Amino acid sequence: MTTNLNKTSVANSGSLYEEDFYLWIQTTANQIRQKNFEKVDWENLLEELESLGRSDKRELENRLTVLLEHLLKLVYWKEERENNTRGWANTIKEQRRQIKKLLKSSPSLKPFLLEAFAECYSDARVDTADNSGLSLETFPEQPPFSFEQVLNSDYLPE
């Protein structure tokens, strides 16, 4: 690793970012550790840091949408409920687990998740209608469960 970092210390870190992302990360971390701040590719580093936050937000939205979709299936897709309850319940459990992990590592995202709840529900409603073949009107426009119920590991609608 040292040889690679030494080779790249001569290279332009901006082009390294484009050519070998992993090596760019290692080089950047090494430059910061050595307090060699003038060689740090700050523009790309800041872009990557901001991207990490957006990525966590997208993952939370996706997981919440899937969670809501499976809760809706449990309540409204009665023809398939008997055969699919276990799978849907497992998906609900897994999405809650992953949301909990994300919020544990970034608790400041919980208000964002609350803000995104209505939009995620709307997306889940459309997705559930599409996936089930049921009419969109089958699913209420407003969530039939609260944000707290959705995240509560003990809550499963009947």
Domain spans of the chain? 2-40, 54-151
Residues 6+ apart with CB under 8 A from 9: 27, 39
pTM of the model: 0.77
Query: Which amino acid is present at 148?
Result: E
What span, in angstroms and rounded, lies between the C-alpha atoms of 140 and 70? 15
**Of 10, 5, 15, 7, nearest in space to 43 by CA:** 15
pLDDT above 80 (res 41): yes
**Distance from CA of residue 144 to its chain's centroid?**
23
| Position 141, amino acid | E
What confidence tens digit (pLDDT) does each residue in 76-122 have? Answer: 999 999 999 999 999 999 999 999 999 999 999 999 999 999 999 99
